[in-house]
Amino acid sequence: MPGKKSAPATPDPSDRTWPERLRYFAAEQDALVRTIREFVEIESPSDNKPAADRMGRFLAERFEAFGGRPRVHPADQFGNNLQIDFPGREKVKPVLLLGHFDTVYPLGTLANMPCREADGCLHGPGVLDMKSGIALMLFAIEALHCWHSGLPRPVTVFLVSDEEVGSSSSRRITEELARESAAVLVLEPAAGPRGAVKTARKGVGDYTLKVQGVAAHAGLDPGKGHSATLELARQIIAVSKFNDLRRGVSVNAGVIRGGTRTNVVAAEASAEIDVRIKHAKQAAALDGKFRSLKPFDKRCQLSIEGGINRMPMERTAGVAALYQKAQAIAKQIDWKLEEAAVGGGSDGNFTAGIGIPTLDGMGGVGAGAHAVHEYIVISELPGRALLLAGMIESI
């Protein structure tokens, strides 16, 4: 990776010391919380384009104020995706800061789940996943401007509108931008209460299994029917045998539907199945198993749709090197930064999947993502901002 310093994680003597930098961010903490609150109070569910676009416009203005050039990538079904380019002094590849501004919460959620501060935590829909991550980007960029009078290197910020629903409108752009970048830092929430960064994520996919049976009157002609619900039940047991938890493969038929009335032998049934894999090479074998499912009742027909949507983010040498840089920066402020491998996917799976060094979980520390108690721990913010700023400098 290109870099201007031979020992990248060591502070440049002309710069402020790391404890001074931490004090800088500690002094910014209240402003950071105010900004996060502003972001949370603009609701932006993935499935509401006008609302998501409002959020996107607001973010574009905030980043523009620090010298970024916004570029809007129009999307028909979701909010427009937002790219902001920051020029840098050194002519090196940019670092890509990746995030999403959509949330899983429908419009109106704030009425029952207001953004509020209590016991050192900030609560609210999307506060952890991942509006605090976006605010961290903004404050890290501001700090670098202040310390270096301009960014030391180019930075590309890419904020997508559809991460929570599979990133169909943004994936191609995410991958293109990653290819042009030295490395990718993903501002998704940190793992666990100790704020570990994420160096591995499982691959994620989903399948829909449909069964077409033969309907009949359950009382008059029970023998003439071929039950789709019975067939589906047997298929679910067959599919559950694809689980191989020891190797990191898991399969879950989380949603099933079927039948119309108790006195009708069901003609139709279906299951929606979530799958997770640890290694890219497991994808083809698992897919093959789904595609070769055969009906137990020969009069029933099966159809299978879907596949792996996000390949695993594997802990490659490039990922490990980024983690080591992050650890070295954290050490400067006596913070023992941990790493974690997690089951959930993010857009980091896409960038790591095409071989670009990616470090995920750089965002806020907290709990309750996608749940009513979602929160971040406010006192963790200065350290996270420092880590991000340091990484942008040293990659």
Which spans of this chain sit near Zn ion (rule: CB under 5 A)? 129-130, 188
Find the shortest distance in angstroms from Cβ 344 to Zn ion: 8
**Tokens representing residue 95 in the block:** 């670092």
Find the shortest distance in angstroms from Cβ 296 to Zn ion: 40
Q: Please tell me whether the peptide bond between 113 and the residue prior to it is cis, using omega within 30 degrees of 0.
A: no
Find the shortest distance in angstroms from Cβ 371 to Zn ion: 13
Residue nearer to Zn ion on the CB measure, 95 or 342: 342
Find the shortest distance in angstroms from Cβ 346 to Zn ion: 6
What single DSSP character describes residue 245? G
Find the shortest distance in angstroms from Cβ 160 to Zn ion: 10
Find the shortest distance in angstroms from Cβ 362 to Zn ion: 12
Residue nearer to Zn ion on the CB measure, 130 or 389: 130
Alpha carbon distance 363, 367 (integer Å): 12
Find the shortest distance in angstroms from Cβ 129 to Zn ion: 4
Residue 88: strand, helix, or coil: coil
> Which parts of the chain fold into alpha helices (H)?
18-40, 49-64, 109-112, 132-148, 171-179, 228-240, 282-291, 317-331, 348-353, 381-394
Residue nearer to Zn ion on the CB measure, 85 or 129: 129
Residue nearer to Zn ion on the CB measure, 4 or 370: 370
Residue nearer to Zn ion on the CB measure, 270 or 346: 346
Strand partners, 103: 45
The closest alpha carbon to 368, from 360, 376, 378, belongs to 376
Cα separations in angstroms, 93 against 88, 154, 212, 360: 10, 7, 53, 19
φ/ψ bin of 115: left (φ > 0), alpha (ψ from -120 to 50), beta (otherwise): beta
Residue 176: strand, helix, or coil: helix
Cα separations in angstroms, 15 against 80, 139, 144, 152, 394: 38, 18, 11, 12, 13
Residue sitting closest to Zn ion (CB): 129
What burial letters (b/e) apply to 147-184, b meaning 16+ CB within 10 Å? bbeebbbbbbbbbbbbbbeebebbbebbeebbeebbbb
**Tokens representing residue 341 in the block:** 């491998």
Residue nearer to Zn ion on the CB measure, 37 or 100: 100
- 125: number of Cβ within 10 Å: 26
Residue nearer to Zn ion on the CB measure, 188 or 314: 188
Residue nearer to Zn ion on the CB measure, 134 or 322: 134
Find the shortest distance in angstroms from Cβ 126 to Zn ion: 9
Find the shortest distance in angstroms from Cβ 186 to Zn ion: 9
- 348: number of Cβ within 10 Å: 28
Residue nearer to Zn ion on the CB measure, 130 or 319: 130
